[in-house]
Amino acid sequence: MASATAQSDLLKYGQYVNKGLGRSLDGILTKGEGSWITMDDGRRLLDFSCGIGVTNLGHCHPKISGAAAEQCMKVVHSQCSIAFHEPYLELIKKILPFMPHPSLDSFFFWNSGSEVIEGAIKIARVTTGRQNIIAMQGGYHGRTYGAMAVTKSKTIYSEGVHPLMPGVYTLPFPYWHQMNLPSSTDPAELSRLCLAQLDLLLSQQTAPRDTAAILLEPVLGEGGYVPAPPEFLRGLREVCDREGILLIADEIQCGYGRTGRMFAVEESGVRPDIMTIAKGLANGFPLSGIITRREYTDKLKPGSMGGTYAGNAVACAAACAVADVFKNENILDNVNARSVELFSALNALRNDPVISKYILDVRGKGLMVAVEFASPVGTGPYDSFVDKTAPRDLAKRIAARCQKKGLFILTTSVYEVIRFIPALNITKEEMAEGCRIFKEAVGEVVHEG
């Protein structure tokens, strides 16, 4: 590792980095180990971000990094259109039992989440012979052109680059704030209202015979960590079955153990026709996947799918090790145990008489959890949940205060939301420490006003 002086000297080259890239930490991250990251100035922070839900089994897990290192000395690159490599096929063997439904039996591995969203849309259009896609208000799916078109969480991702891919229609997602309804509204009622809007959408804007797929995250990610009620997912499945529309579950952030199940959609019992995965799949090595049914992909012409680095051998080897760690280290049990502790701490904070009026919601599943705070301005004059007494920029200020205290945590969405994305194998002691720091930071920022 370079000296602190050399690391600081490197920072001058930051001026040459594209300014379109945002950044949450000042300095250079020099080391990651388990749930901790170390910066070039010696700061050591408890990481509740996991690289935005990627290093889900902790930074540099020895079994995973070791598997990648070993593969580097065998085959680094075997272009997917030339020949199979062993880790690609081994990965299918290992994760096939993880699938939420046995019909999901066709795999294609790519590099990034945006790519598999593009590929899922392509497969849906080819399979159905239809063009239109229904996406969710608040959904995030990526920054490439097709993925931008179905991303509805913030305008920053597509601002100034329209027109985007045509044929995209937006459906309300059962999230109380977006619907201007109290947070206490029954999720079944939120679902009913959104499904009624789907009926209207199919009657007024895109006919079923023109609609290829409905795309959603079973838990909104960048849109605020909002779980879709089971009633909503079941209602979507019924509409798709009735109208011959495909249901695409984007499990890129909420999948792979994050919610306490291998895939978030499992809780509802709903079968997706296409599922996209990435992020935690290879614990930091670039790898993503489209999983669907062979009856669909058998219709594709050879060569219609591909990519120079798609399904890279080193990334696939790492992903095989990830699957082994899930199986051998009781990861899901840990997720559910730590989730109880996290929710207990956050709900205790929510009940604090000084702080409670500024917390609008505590929500999530497993270790995909969010706290939504009040705002004195909201999203505009018609936001019903504006609180003129609330301090400004609560989420941003609390996240910054946490950072000063040794906890790295992220905000998300157009609302005042902080998201918790700790490692799935975080220890009881580390969870307690993170909750302690968060409580202190919230108390201090609220007191300052």
* Domain-located, residue 135: yes
Residues 35-64 have a mean pLDDT of 97
Q: Which residues of 261-294 are buried (b: 16+ CB within 10 A; e: fewer)?
A: bbbbbbbbebbbbbbbbbbbbbbbbbbbbbbbbe
Is the pLDDT at 6 greater than 80? The verdict is: no
pLDDT at residue 48 in the model: 98
pLDDT at residue 5 in the model: 65
By the 10 Å C-beta count (0-12 exposed, 13-18 middle, 19+ buried), 300 is classed as middle
In tens, the pLDDT along 66-88 reads 999 999 999 999 999 999 999 99
Residues 92, 227 within the same domain: yes
Residues 318, 187 within the same domain: yes
Residues 163-183 have a mean pLDDT of 97
What band does 2 get if pLDDT is binned at 50, 70 and 90?
low
Residues 243, 116 within the same domain: yes
Q: Identify residue 415 by its one-letter amino acid code.
A: Y
Compute the residue count for the chain: 449
pLDDT at residue 100 in the model: 96
Pick the last residue of a domain from 309, 328, 347: 328
Residues 194, 265 within the same domain: yes
3-state secondary structure of 187: helix
Residues 238, 109 within the same domain: yes
- Residues 245, 212: contact at Cβ < 8 Å? yes
Q: Which two tokens stand for residue 343?
A: 């929710």
Distance CA 113, CA 224 (A): 18
For residue 275, the cross-strand partners are 249, 291
Q: Identify residue 28 by its one-letter amino acid code.
A: I
* Domain-located, residue 67: no
- Residues 175, 142: contact at Cβ < 8 Å? no
pLDDT at residue 344 in the model: 98
Residues 408, 271 within the same domain: no
How many structural domains compose the chain? Answer: 2
Residues 307-312 have a mean pLDDT of 96
Q: Give the up-direction half-sphere exposure of residue 239: CA atoms within 13 A in the CB hemisphere.
A: 27
pLDDT at residue 25 in the model: 87
Residues 237-263 have a mean pLDDT of 98
* Domain-located, residue 68: no
Q: State which residues form the domain around 354.
A: 4-62+330-448
What band does 11 get if pLDDT is binned at 50, 70 and 90?
confident
In tens, the pLDDT along 270-296 reads 999 999 999 999 999 999 999 999 999
Bridging pattern class, strands 36-39 and 132-136: unpaired
Residues 287, 423 within the same domain: no
Pick the last residue of a domain from 273, 294, 328: 328
- Residues 285, 68: contact at Cβ < 8 Å? yes
Residues 428-446 have a mean pLDDT of 98
* Domain-located, residue 69: no
* Domain-located, residue 275: yes
pLDDT at residue 52 in the model: 97
333: Cα separation from own chain's centroid: 21
Which CATH number is 201's domain given? 3.40.640.10
pTM: 0.96
Distance CA 308, CA 367 (A): 34
Which CATH number is 30's domain given? 3.90.1150.10
Residues 415-442 have a mean pLDDT of 98
What band does 29 get if pLDDT is binned at 50, 70 and 90?
very high
Residues 193, 303 within the same domain: yes
Residues 172, 275 within the same domain: yes
Residues 42, 115 within the same domain: no
Q: Identify residue 37 by its one-letter amino acid code.
A: I
Which phi and psi angles does 169 have, rounded to 5°?
Answer: -125, 150
Residues 320, 336 within the same domain: no
Name the average pLDDT for the chain: 96
For residue 416, the cross-strand partners are 373
Residues 84, 210 within the same domain: yes
Pick the last residue of a domain from 328, 345, 378: 328
Residues 380-390 have a mean pLDDT of 95
* Domain-located, residue 290: yes
